[in-house]
Amino acid sequence: MSKDTHIDTTDNDRRKRPALLFDVAAYLRTLREISIALITFTIIAWLIWRGALAMEYNWQWYRVSPFFYRIVDDEFIFGPLYWGLLKTLKLAFIAGILAIIIGFITAFARMSNSRAGSNIATFYLEAIRNTPLIVQLFLFYFVLAPIFGIDRFWAGVLCLAFFEGSFAAEIIRGGIQGVDRGQFEAGDAAGLTTYNKYRYIIVPQSMPLILPPLTGLLISLIKHSAIVSVIAVSELTTTGLNLISDTFMAFEVWFIIAGIYLTLTITLSIGVGQLEKKLNVASSSNRS
Amino acid sequence: MSDNKIGTPLVEITGLSKWYGDFSALYDINLTVSSGEKVVVCGPSGSGKSTMIRCINQLEEHQVGTIFVDGREVKPGMKNIEEVRRDVGMVFQSFNLFPHLSVVDNLTIGPMRNKGISKAEATEIAMHFLERVHIAEQADKYPPQLSGGQQQRVAIARALCLKPKIMLFDEPTSALDPEMIAGVLDIMIELAEDGMTMICVTHEMGFARKVADRIVFMDEGEIVEVAEPETFFNNPSTDRSKLFLSQLLGH
């Protein structure tokens, strides 16, 4: 009901919530959980260190900084990992945008009354979801790329876009079908064209349903982008492979590569988490 | 109210039938509503009242029969159905306001997108109709912040903003708390007095008696009786309408 219901302040004073006492038991419980986690991580780290020692692995962490940057004659030069990371970001960014566009087109084609549209969309979804990603990549690189004259970077981008686009399509379709039927009817009854109905009424309301799973999709897109290393697109993973063949520092390089991916994806989830919180605040102020 | 000047036919329904699968939802409906006329449709739940009026703006598709709205035939899958819908205002049982838009934006979106008029002009129209439903001070709130009665009045204003030739009401007070009903009915009565053509599906018999030119009584997908309110309430001609009225007024 009405949000601005008048609250009787005197009554609220009388019914004041008591201040919470410091809960010692809960504090000790938290402390115990944290120590268990710390001990587990320590044990794992120790096992890795001991295993590496047993195989007489020569840790050379002091050699990794040039992977990121070097300073030659007072000049700052970016290292290979920087360029690899940049390529990965570019790859994921373009593929992500294309995937969302493909997702919207496919979702609407599937929901449309057009038999051709929904058949083509369904065929695309089934084809993508029932073949291995790496086989799709080879198809794009060895078959489509020469036919259409596209380079390996764009073959990788398109392959990832079509792969993730198929999942985006189902997320978007789910979000749109999650909007209350009455909203479609109200849009129709208001005489809106189909385009305006979706543009101003349905899609905005489906966003809170679409955004969280779509973030998950973008995160997996960043991870899946590593696969284009098999067609030698010079992104992060390819850079890692090259560094290892140059330096034989397999342990350090893979730890670093994994760390970079982890940082990327966690940053993205935190960022979108904040955005969602904002969205929720905005939409919950509408629902009291 | 029956001495209102009644003009040309606005909605003409002839031989309308509709099936859900094999279930016959509507059968051989014939009804003509002229401009300025107020028709109240009543009947037990599941009798096809809502389905019938939803066929008029094609929220439901019929299979047999013809419907003309202001001289244009509406039929399933037709192109430009939105042009007909702009002449037909509709108020739903569950309000169906757009929860992501403020009250005033709920009202301006139709005129702005359908007729391409400016935001300022659309806002002016919106405020005019919000005042008419006595809710102008809530213009900047969002629908979920309003009570049910307020929401339904906004919904009526939203439909009016399109300057419709006819208003369809699909049980507008059925989802409201009892103390909210009167406010909404008052608006509808004012609207009727202003000469709006209306088809109302409702169980509010007091409203029907006061406003209706004709009562259409439906049962099991068919029109059983059409009569003026006095005749219908005092002297119903069929057993089914007698039974319905006794159940409705009996307690």
pLDDT band for position A18 (cuts 50, 70, 90): confident
Strand pairing report for B38-42 and B64-69: unpaired
pLDDT band for position B24 (cuts 50, 70, 90): very high
What number is the average pLDDT over the span A153-167? 96
CB contact under 8 A, B113 and A193: yes
Of A183, A201, A286, the CB nearest to B144: A286
A231 contact B CB<8A: no
What number is the average pLDDT over the span A250-257? 92
Other C-beta atoms lying within 10 Å of the C-beta of residue A115: 8
Topology classification of domain A78-284? MetI-like fold (1.10.3720)
Look at residue B65 and give its three-state secondary structure: strand
pLDDT tens readout for residues A113-127: 889 999 999 999 999
What Rg, from alpha-carbon coordinates, does chain A have? 26
**Rounded to whole angstroms, what are the CA distances from B14 to A245, A260, B30, B32, B51?**
82, 70, 5, 8, 15
CB B228 within 8 A of CB B197: no
What separation, in Å, do the N-terminal and C-terminal C-alpha atoms of chain A show?
7
What separation, in Å, do the N-terminal and C-terminal C-alpha atoms of chain B show?
28
What number is the average pLDDT over the span A8-37? 83
Domain ranges of chain B: 1-87+203-251
What number is the average pLDDT over the span B94-107? 96
- CA angle B189/B190/B191 to nearest 5° reads 90
Chain-wide mean pLDDT for chain A?
89
Q: What is the pLDDT of residue A113?
A: 87
**Sheet of B64-69, strand order:** B23-34, B9-20, B64-69, B72-74
Q: What is the pLDDT of residue A276?
A: 77
Instruction: Report how far residue A48's alpha carbon sits from residue A55's, in angstroms, rounded to the nearest whole number.
Output: 11
Which residue is associated with the tokens 């115990």? A32
Dihedral sign computed on CA atoms, order A71, A77, A80, A84: positive
Residues of A with CB below 8 A from B143's CB? Answer: 286
Per DSSP, chain B holds a count of helices (H) and strands (E) of 9, 10
pLDDT band for position A4 (cuts 50, 70, 90): very low
pLDDT higher at A275 or A90? A90
Of A2, A185, A196, the CB nearest to B145: A2
Q: What is the pLDDT of residue A6?
A: 53
Q: What is the pLDDT of residue B1?
A: 42
CB B157 within 8 A of CB B136: no
A211 contact B CB<8A: no
Q: Which of B158, B39, B24 is nearest to B91 (CA)?
A: B158
For chain B, percent helix, then strand, then coil, each to nearest 5?
40, 25, 35
Task: Look up residue A187 and give its two tokens.
Answer: 């849009």
Estimate to the nearest angstrom the gap between the alpha carbon of B18 and the chain centroid. 20
Identify which of A22-26, B3-7, B178-182 has the greatest average pLDDT: B178-182
Distance from CA of B214 to the nearest CA of A (A): 25
Is A11 exposed, middle or buried (CB count within 10 Å of its CB: 0-12, 13-18, 19+)? exposed
Least confident of A78-82, A231-235, A271-275, B112-116: A271-275
Domain ranges of chain A: 24-57, 78-284
B53 contact A CB<8A: no
Q: What is the pLDDT of residue B51?
A: 95
Strand blocks (E) in B146-220: 166-170, 197-201, 214-219
Q: What is the pLDDT of residue A33?
A: 94
Q: What is the pLDDT of residue A20?
A: 77
Residues of A with CB below 8 A from B162's CB? Answer: 190-191
Task: Look up residue A166 and give its two tokens.
Answer: 């198929």
CB contact under 8 A, A191 and B142: no
Residue B118 phi/psi, 5° resolution?
-70, 160
pLDDT band for position B91 (cuts 50, 70, 90): very high
Q: What is the pLDDT of residue B5?
A: 54
Distant-in-sequence, close-in-space partners of A216: CB < 8 Å, separation ≥ 6:
none
Q: Does A253 have pLDDT greater than 70? A: yes
pLDDT band for position A269 (cuts 50, 70, 90): confident
B127 contact A CB<8A: no
CB contact under 8 A, A186 and B144: no
Distance from CA of A216 to the nearest CA of B (A): 25
pLDDT tens readout for residues A60-85: 888 888 888 888 888 888 889 999 99
**Rounded to whole angstroms, what are the CA distances from B159 to A190, A191, A244, B13, B109?**
7, 10, 69, 22, 11
Estimate to the nearest angstrom the gap between the alpha carbon of A278 and the chain centroid. 19
Look at residue B25 and give its three-state secondary structure: strand
Q: What is the pLDDT of residue A17?
A: 78
What dotted CATH number matches B1-87+203-251?
3.40.50.300
For chains A and B, what is the number of CB pairs under 8 angstroms? Answer: 75
Residues of A with CB below 8 A from B90's CB? Answer: 189
What number is the average pLDDT over the span B108-130? 95
What number is the average pLDDT over the span B95-123? 95
Q: What is the pLDDT of residue A9?
A: 61
What number is the average pLDDT over the span B158-175? 95
**To 10 degrees, what angle do helices A236-247 and A250-284 make?**
160
pLDDT tens readout for residues B45-81: 889 999 999 999 999 999 999 999 999 999 998 989 9
Estimate to the nearest angstrom the gap between the alpha carbon of B64 and the chain centroid. 22
